Amino acid sequence: MVAILVASAGIWLFHFMILRGVQQAAAINRFVAIAKVIPIVVFLVIMAFAMKMHVFQFNFYGGDLEGGIFEQVRATMLVTAFVFLGIGRPSM
């Protein structure tokens, strides 16, 4: 209920700001766009320093598993088809 009330208040607030003028709405829209991009950029910067490329490469090609990347993709597709459609092999 709280989420509905807050969302409704936000929509009405934005509506009244648009009524006051397009320039003010454009400024708010610019602020919101920047607020959306900042977490993405922060995540990418953190990942650039925290990622261990050798671990990624080892696991990307299957690590100790047999079959390599093609077998991983095939197995994932079979499980996805079974979960969503109910067809395919249920066990690997």
Task: For residues 22-46, give the mean pLDDT.
Answer: 87
Task: For residues 66-76, give the mean pLDDT.
Answer: 78
pLDDT at 26: 79
Residue 17: pLDDT above 80? no
Helix, strand, coil % (nearest 5) of the chain? 80, 0, 20
**Nearest-5° Cα angle at 72, 67 to 74:** 100
Provide φ and ψ at 62, rounded to 5°: 105, -10
CA pair distance 20, 27, nearest whole angstrom: 12
Question: For residue 44, what pLDDT band results from cuts at 50, 70 and 90?
Answer: very high
Residue 68: pLDDT above 60? yes
> Does the model's pTM come out above 0.85?
no
